[in-house]
Amino acid sequence: MLKRISTLVLAGLTAVTLAGCGGGGGADTSASSGGDGSITMGFSQVGAESGWRTANTKSVQESAKTAGITLKFSDAQQKQENQIKAIRSYIQQKVDVIAFSPVVESGWDTVLKEAQNAKIPVILTDRAVDSKDTSLYKTFLGSDFVEEGRKAGTWLLEEYKSGTDPVNIVELQGTTGSAPANDRKAGFQEVIGGEAKFKVIASQTGDFTRAKGKEVMEAFLKAHPDIDVLYAHNDDMGLGAIEAIEGAGKVPGKDIKIITVDAVKDGMQALADGKINYIVECSPLLGPQLMDLAKKVVKGESVPARVVTEETTFTQEQAKAALPQRQY
């Protein structure tokens, strides 16, 4: 889990120009492959596993165009080795900056050191890495997944505040080893762990996909006839689980209450329809901030160690009101 930085910067960017860095009206010495100030970014995306990821890819690609940044983009199909290959290729191509969303937290130090040795700055976006050497990247732009897990747990505490009957919970975890899976689980557990009535009777990865979420929920339902709550680390796994719950002749949102994370359109529709009970938002619209950070980093300006995205939560009523304006 990324070391928590005390001064989280919400949404907007405050960059402090390095003292003595080209002051006194010197020529703009910003590094650029074209020498004309143009910037080329190499971006390695996790994959296309969920509605969230599709929206995130769209945000990155559109923002690069708007910012006049040349984008080299690769889809790793959720495989770390593909991301490492892509990063090495960007180093060979001498891009000005590398950005990526690490599919899992561990195993990045070697390739990040190669980028550092090649003097190519790296920006982490969306997911974090567990490298001890934080000099290997300039900043991390993305959500506080632990807080997202806490928000999910807090809703459950409120929902079941009265009564002492056991509350049987099943959990569909995100991709094994990924920051969102590790942290959403930790934050949720931190909040509900103190209440004996809450029992996580099964917890397994659904790899953030609808298909896997359905498959694992079918297995949960066969093994546990008494499930009260599903906590799914993203909407897509929750939507797959809804198919399994209905297939088992149960009513999602009533027989089994469902909490998910993301707030993509399909999830918000299910929330408005009463099949999901609560969604914790995780914004995929990181593109504009990423491009701002890239320009600052290439110019050698200092940027915050961490930029946390602003996000909220939705009840069923709030989803009905918000749906018409949702961008993704």
- Beta-strand runs (E) in the chain: 9-10, 39-45, 69-75, 97-100, 122-125, 139-142, 167-173, 198-205, 229-232, 257-262, 278-281, 306-308, 313-314
**Position 53 contacts ligand GZL (CB under 6 A):** yes
- String marking each residue 255-294 x if it binds ligand GZL according to CB under 6 A: ------xx-------------------x------------
Give the up-direction half-sphere exposure of residue 206: CA atoms within 13 A in the CB hemisphere.
Answer: 33
Task: Quote the tokens at residue 97.
Answer: 């900056």
For ligand GZL, give the closer residue by CB, 168 or 173: 173
Task: Report the site for ligand GZL in 55-94 (rule: CB under 6 A).
Answer: none
**Position 221 contacts ligand GZL (CB under 6 A):** no
Stretch that binds ligand GZL, among 49-57, 194-202, 210-218, 298-306 (CB under 6 A): 49-57
Q: Which amino acid is at 113?
A: K
Q: How many residues bind ligand GZL (CB under 6 A)?
A: 15
**Position 180 contacts ligand GZL (CB under 6 A):** yes
| Closest CA relative to residue 99, chosen from 110, 86, 109 | 86
Asked if 267 contacts 232 with a C-beta cutoff of 8 angstroms, the reply is no
Among 83, 143, 205, 316, binds ligand GZL (CB under 6 A): 143
Give the up-direction half-sphere exposure of residue 323: CA atoms within 13 A in the CB hemisphere.
Answer: 15
Q: What span, in angstroms and rounded, lies between the C-alpha atoms of 108 and 44?
A: 13
**Position 127 contacts ligand GZL (CB under 6 A):** yes
| CB 180, min distance to ligand GZL, A | 4
For ligand GZL, give the closer residue by CB, 168 or 234: 234
Q: What span, in angstroms and rounded, lies between the C-alpha atoms of 32 and 71?
A: 14
Which residue's beta carbon is nearest to the bound ligand GZL? 52
| CB 211, min distance to ligand GZL, A | 13
**Position 126 contacts ligand GZL (CB under 6 A):** yes
**Per-residue b/e over 285-312, b at no fewer than 16 CB within 10 Å?**
bbbbbbbbbbbbbbbebbbbbbbbbebe
| CB 88, min distance to ligand GZL, A | 23
Q: Contact residues for ligand GZL (CB under 6 A)? A: 49-50, 52-53, 126-127, 142-143, 180, 208, 234, 236, 261-262, 282
